[in-house]
Structure formats: C-alpha cells, structure tokens
Amino acid sequence: MYHFFWSGLDLLFPPSCGGCGKLGARWCIDCQQKMEPVPLPICEICGAPQNFKGICQGCQTTRPAFSALRSCAIYKEPVRPALIKMKYRNEIGLGEALAWNLAMYLEELGWQADVLIPIPLSEQRLAERGYNQVDLIAHPLARLTGCQYLPKALRRVRHTISQVGLSGSERRVNVNGAFHAEARVVQEKIVLVLDDIATTGATIQSASSSLLDAGAKKVYALTFAKAMKRYGADYEKSLAARPLC
C-alpha cells in the first residue's frame, strides 16, 4: 500500500529522477544500473576496500562496536546527487524508491535483524530541516524487509556540527557520546542501524556503542552509500549549495 501510494502520486505528478533529472521516475532504471558497488575485497567488519581478504588493520587494533558495516554503492554519480536532493532539497519521495535497492542488497547480505533503527538528527537539526532524510529510506525499508521499525529507540542527545570537512579523528570526537538508546526496546535484540552515507563510520560507531550499552545483542550497520576520497567525499557541501534546477 505504501508503494501504491507513491506510485499513485507519480501518476498525478510525474517525477524527475533524483540521479539524472530525467522525467518519469523518482529513481530511473538507468541510474540504478549505473550504481557502482564498493570494490572488493573489503574488510569483513567495517566494509572498507583493501588489498586483501579479512579484517583491516584498523579494526584489528580497535574493533568497532558494530558486527559489520556495509554500503550498497559508492558515493558518486548518480547516487550522490540523489542523496543530496533527498537530504537538502525536500525530495522526500526518493526514500521509497531507494529503499528497494537497499532491500535487495540486504537480502544478498543475509543478515537477520529484529529491529531497524535510523540514525537520528538532533532536535536542532530536525527543526532546521523539517525531516530526517534517513527516515525516508528506513521506513519503507522496514516495510519491505519485515523488520520492526523503531525510529524513537535511538536519540541524538547532543547537537553536533556537520561531519562534512572533518578529519577522521575530528569526526569521532564530534559524535562521541552523542546518542542514547532505549534499553526497554532494544535489549536482547539484533539491531540493524541505518544511515544514508558512511565516510569514516564514526557516527555509526557511536550509535552502535549506545545500542550495545543499552543491551542490544548485536548491531549491524547499513548505509546506502560509501564515501571514498578518490570520488571527493566532501563534494556534498558544494553541490548542496547549488540553486535548485
């Protein structure tokens, strides 16, 4: 029914593709086919590309709180403009369209989770933007996968500055202790925590620590995109500032 709702709106108000701007679909087939997966091999835990199979040196030295982090595609065209439009330009219908790609990817991973929790915004950021862009993907993804959707199980209790432009160490400090998880709903649950983009994984690490401290049995982390330096991870800031087309 949720999908039919958006399909009905598409008939009444023909959309343009979030990736290429072509009329007729919120996320066209051409853009879906141009999505580039994170190149293998990757670290078995953090999902970062490396030159060998197994666990990367960073995860061996300091093992993350999450059991595994994976991303559906590289943060480059056409994924990058689609996520930026959804995040900054009120393209709320894109979330439902993108969720189908994530659902198929999640099926390939074979993860079994009890609940799905989106990374929350701070109250200040939510008031400024009016919505949480991760919710726009997480809600339909929960419907597609059958996971219990718990958007209020994790709260951002401290406002943080934007992660764009910060170094890895600065990102970790920025989000350290920024989250609080509700023990009564996550205790003994296998949690799938969702974000739109993974760069260093600092935000997901902080959220996962909070969930485990609250009694979660295990935390899997999933993002739609993985930002990589060779594709300009911080290009988001300049593109977001462009005028609407």
**Tokens representing 219?**
């935390």
How many CB atoms are located within 10 Å of the residue 122 CB?
15
Cα distances from 229 to residues 7, 79, 86, 123, in angstroms, run 36, 15, 22, 30
124 burial type by CB count under 10 A (0-12 exposed, 13-18 middle, 19+ buried): exposed
pTM comes to 0.86
Is the CATH number 3.40.50 carried by domain 2-240? yes
Q: Which two tokens stand for residue 12?
A: 């009444």
Question: Would you state the structure tokens that stand for residue 74, as one six-digit string?
Answer: 């590289």
Q: Where do the domains of the chain lie? A: 2-240
pLDDT in tens, the chain (245 residues): 666 565 666 556 789 999 999 999 999 999 999 999 999 999 999 999 999 999 999 999 999 999 999 999 999 999 999 999 999 888 888 999 999 999 999 999 999 999 999 999 988 889 988 999 999 999 999 999 999 999 999 999 875 655 565 555 655 555 666 799 999 999 999 999 999 999 989 999 999 999 999 999 999 999 999 999 766 554 444 434 443 32
The dihedral sign for the CA sequence 195, 220, 177, 182? positive
Cβ atoms of residues 81 and 239 within 8 Å:
yes
